[in-house]
A and B are shown apart, each in its own frame.
Chain A
């Protein structure tokens, strides 16, 4: 226990993002409307160790996709910073350094119908990162590398000349994974990679991603709304609600003993396939409008344990015991 833990590959520090959703300036002035902002993400801090999968789970409006985009550098954070191998992601850096960082981070998107350019052939799509980072010395070498990647994700290299619409949804997601692997990344962010796919295809893709992780020692940030999917993929799980982490814990612990009332509710909402007659608590209400979130703990209107403190004071994400941090007054006070 005296061995210093290896430095995490990814570290997010106080990540926050505010979106301006006001009407255009002229409309605002003419109609006397106020400026409106949405706090999409606030106070997100987490670390991901090498070869680990951290999953972020939440419903619509939880801000999980915005976190994904900030982590890969597609959306600049309003506050906070992401460090990859202790290198800041968003700070000012020179071109070469930025390129090195970019090469190590890749992303697999949700909808394989939108993430592949419909006018490009599969082999050009997969070859793009190889060309962008000049990873191959010649055209034949690029082609050989593309063929290898396609085989790696279970596609026939001879199909590389086809366009995306000639592939099925699962095959398209395989192409997207091949593209993500083309730059030989260390860290891959997966934003709901299977939610647009059929279950049997989902199983294929999830298994493929697990295999690739083992084979290349990849680190994953896995975004999903589906707790059961996350169960098969993640070592640790963070649960998000209205832009904030409410609980983060090792996967086993979270499923065995969920602590935050929202986590419990999410677990309860997963349909029961075993027909065990498990007693399910009826779930109350819906996710509020992020433009106008509730005061205090944003979950309190739906929470069966809410009291006056929950309505006024926002709970901090603190590790009250060894099980990991939870943002809940009821847990802190030992009420649940």
Chain B
């Protein structure tokens, strides 16, 4: 069996504040295989970006990884010291962020930034280095790359900049690329181009991609599997086709229903009542139960775990035997010692 490129086990990230200890993500586990695109979708505050920053070891103090393990190609990386983690970032994990302008230094030519990154992680020098950089620019679809090599970031359009950022992320041939909302700042027509490009690159380089986005449409287009996050937990994970066309978890169903569709006409949209709980006030049991249309007895009491159902995994009592009646105590009292 193929070894996963990234393996996250029971990850928990906490942000201590003066009033409380916020649990930004709790008990999150997933794998990504080589050449696979895992989409991570959720609304703001669901913890999807925190997951990305936790993997690359960039959680801002006082936030910290409070539990769980992260493996990159079988080697544990969540307990590495900062210099070791720095060597892994850029070399073995590439990163793409929402705003391409923040990832590029406005004072340096595109070529300089690219060659610098390649030189840091390889032995290429001189003409070979330049050749490699131009090859990368051409691979991400920059027309006339040898000419554009000497341009500054502001001379590129938004879509072209994001292509350059992709080239930077791929410069060291990383095993894993973490893309956090890579298309959100772009126009719709350009979004499609970037998604297409990412898919192609993942396949060609056999890199694993963690694609973090709030946009189910982007996931449907680009991802092989999708993890749906709610209030810091994964509530459903499975092949995109299954999750999108036949969502299991009531939250995923509501989310899919609330997306406006082209063939919808002037109908009312399905709406989930209320809003995502603040991290300071996550309800006991299943965090979605106060908004859930199918809530029943065990939901407010017991927290459902992610368990297989059909081709996916889902954390919902509708699909698993609920805890027996005698153990039905409030979640605050229940639980293993």
Contacts and interface: CB of A to CB of B under 8 A. Distances in A.
**A contacts B directly (C-beta below 8 A):** yes
Interface in A184-233: 198-204, 206-207, 210, 225-229, 231-233
Given A231-B260, A273-B220, 5 more contacts: A232-B267, A266-B188, A272-B220, A274-B261, A287-B187
A128 interface: no
Contacts of A267: 262
A59 B259 contact: no
Contacts of B241: 275
Interface in B237-256: 240-241, 244-245, 254-256
Contacts of A231: 260-266
Contacts of B160: 286
Nearest to A170: B275
A24 B271 CA distance: 50
A18 interface: no
B189 A283 contact: yes
Main secondary structure of the interface of A (DSSP, over half): helix
Contacts of A225: 187-188
A198 B44 CA distance: 7
Given A271-B220, A273-B220, A286-B189, A210 B268 contact: yes
Chain A, interface size: which category?
35 or more
A220 B24 CA distance: 40
A209 to B, nearest CB: 11
B269 A265 contact: no
A59 B188 contact: yes
Given A198-B43, A270-B217, A265 B275 contact: no
B86 interface: no
A270 to B, nearest CB: 6
Contacts of B261: 228, 231, 273-274
A255 interface: yes
A266 B192 CA distance: 10
A219 to B, nearest CB: 16
Contacts of B260: 202-203, 206, 226, 228-229, 231-232
A226 B255 contact: no
B258 interface: yes
A267 to B, nearest CB: 7
B196 interface: yes
Contact of A283 (B193, B218, B220, B254): B193
A202 B275 CA distance: 11
A206 B269 contact: yes
Interface of B: 43-44, 157-160, 187-193, 195-196, 214-218, 220-221, 240-241, 244-245, 254-272, 275-276
B189 A59 contact: yes
A317 interface: no
A206 B189 CA distance: 24
A228 B262 contact: yes
Most-contacted residue by chain A among B160, B258, B264 (CB, 10 A):
B258
A282 interface: yes
Nearest to B217: A271
A147 interface: no
Contacts of A269: 188-189, 191-192
9 contacts: A199-B214, A200-B254, A200-B255, A200-B272, A204-B271, A225-B188, A228-B259, A275-B245, A283-B192
B189 to A, nearest CB: 4
B188 to A, nearest CB: 5
A255 B188 contact: no
A169 interface: yes
Nearest to B218: A271
A228 B261 CA distance: 5
B271 A207 contact: yes
A198 B251 CA distance: 14
Nearest to A168: B275
A160 B259 CA distance: 30
A207 B275 CA distance: 15
B262 to A, nearest CB: 5
Contacts of A206: 260, 269
Nearest to A276: B245
Contacts of A255: 262-263
A142 to B, nearest CB: 28
A280 interface: yes
A103 B269 CA distance: 30
5 closest A-B pairs by CB = A271-B217, A203-B258, A198-B43, A203-B269, A228-B260
Contacts of B189: 59, 265-266, 269, 283, 286-287
Contacts of B255: 199-200
A235 to B, nearest CB: 8
Nearest to A230: B260
A15 to B, nearest CB: 23
A251 interface: yes
